[in-house]
Amino acid sequence: MAVLDEDDRRAKPVRHAIGEDLSALSIAELQERIALLSDEIKRLEAAVSEKSASRGAAQSVFRI
Protein backbone atom coordinates (compact mmCIF):
# COMPACT_ATOMS: atom_id res chain seq x y z
CA MET A 1 0.00 0.00 0.00
CA ALA A 2 1.50 3.29 -1.11
CA VAL A 3 1.66 6.27 1.20
CA LEU A 4 -0.18 9.26 -0.17
CA ASP A 5 1.79 12.47 -0.19
CA GLU A 6 0.15 15.76 0.73
CA ASP A 7 -0.65 16.75 -2.87
CA ASP A 8 -2.61 13.51 -3.43
CA ARG A 9 -4.75 14.09 -0.35
CA ARG A 10 -5.84 17.59 -1.31
CA ALA A 11 -9.38 17.90 -2.52
CA LYS A 12 -9.70 18.30 -6.24
CA PRO A 13 -11.26 21.60 -7.29
CA VAL A 14 -14.95 21.37 -8.02
CA ARG A 15 -15.71 22.09 -11.65
CA HIS A 16 -19.04 22.31 -13.35
CA ALA A 17 -19.93 21.97 -16.99
CA ILE A 18 -23.16 23.55 -18.17
CA GLY A 19 -25.64 20.83 -19.13
CA GLU A 20 -23.72 18.11 -17.29
CA ASP A 21 -25.69 15.11 -15.97
CA LEU A 22 -26.35 15.81 -12.29
CA SER A 23 -28.02 12.52 -11.37
CA ALA A 24 -24.85 10.92 -9.98
CA LEU A 25 -23.99 13.85 -7.68
CA SER A 26 -24.75 13.89 -3.98
CA ILE A 27 -26.63 16.71 -2.30
CA ALA A 28 -23.36 18.00 -0.85
CA GLU A 29 -21.75 18.01 -4.30
CA LEU A 30 -24.73 19.86 -5.75
CA GLN A 31 -24.52 22.44 -2.95
CA GLU A 32 -20.79 22.89 -3.63
CA ARG A 33 -21.54 23.54 -7.28
CA ILE A 34 -24.27 26.02 -6.38
CA ALA A 35 -21.78 27.91 -4.19
CA LEU A 36 -19.17 27.79 -6.94
CA LEU A 37 -21.59 29.09 -9.56
CA SER A 38 -22.98 31.76 -7.20
CA ASP A 39 -19.45 33.07 -6.63
CA GLU A 40 -18.86 33.07 -10.37
CA ILE A 41 -22.10 34.99 -10.98
CA LYS A 42 -21.01 37.62 -8.44
CA ARG A 43 -17.63 37.89 -10.16
CA LEU A 44 -19.29 38.32 -13.55
CA GLU A 45 -21.72 40.92 -12.21
CA ALA A 46 -18.80 42.88 -10.74
CA ALA A 47 -17.03 42.80 -14.12
CA VAL A 48 -20.20 44.09 -15.84
CA SER A 49 -20.46 46.91 -13.28
CA GLU A 50 -16.82 47.88 -13.78
CA LYS A 51 -17.18 47.90 -17.56
CA SER A 52 -20.43 49.85 -17.36
CA ALA A 53 -18.78 52.48 -15.15
CA SER A 54 -15.82 52.77 -17.52
CA ARG A 55 -18.12 53.03 -20.51
CA GLY A 56 -20.24 55.69 -18.81
CA ALA A 57 -17.13 57.72 -17.93
CA ALA A 58 -15.85 57.48 -21.50
CA GLN A 59 -19.23 58.50 -22.95
CA SER A 60 -19.41 61.53 -20.67
CA VAL A 61 -15.99 62.69 -21.88
CA PHE A 62 -16.95 62.48 -25.54
CA ARG A 63 -20.43 64.02 -25.33
CA ILE A 64 -20.80 67.37 -26.99
One pLDDT digit (tens) per residue for the chain, 64 residues: 555 566 666 666 668 888 999 999 999 999 999 999 999 999 999 999 999 888 777 777 777 5
Residue 30 CB contacts under 8 Å (≥ 6 apart), including other chains: 22
Give me the long-range contacts of 10-16 (CB less than 8 A, separation at least 24): none
Domain count along the chain:
1
In a domain, 11, yes or no: no
CA 21 to chain centre: 19
Instruction: Judge if pTM exceeds 0.85.
Output: no
The predicted structure's pLDDT at residue 23: 95
According to the model, what pLDDT value does residue 6 have? 62
Residue 13 placed within a domain: no
pLDDT at 12: 62
61 lies in a domain? yes
**pLDDT for residue 55:** 79
Domain range holding 40? Answer: 25-64
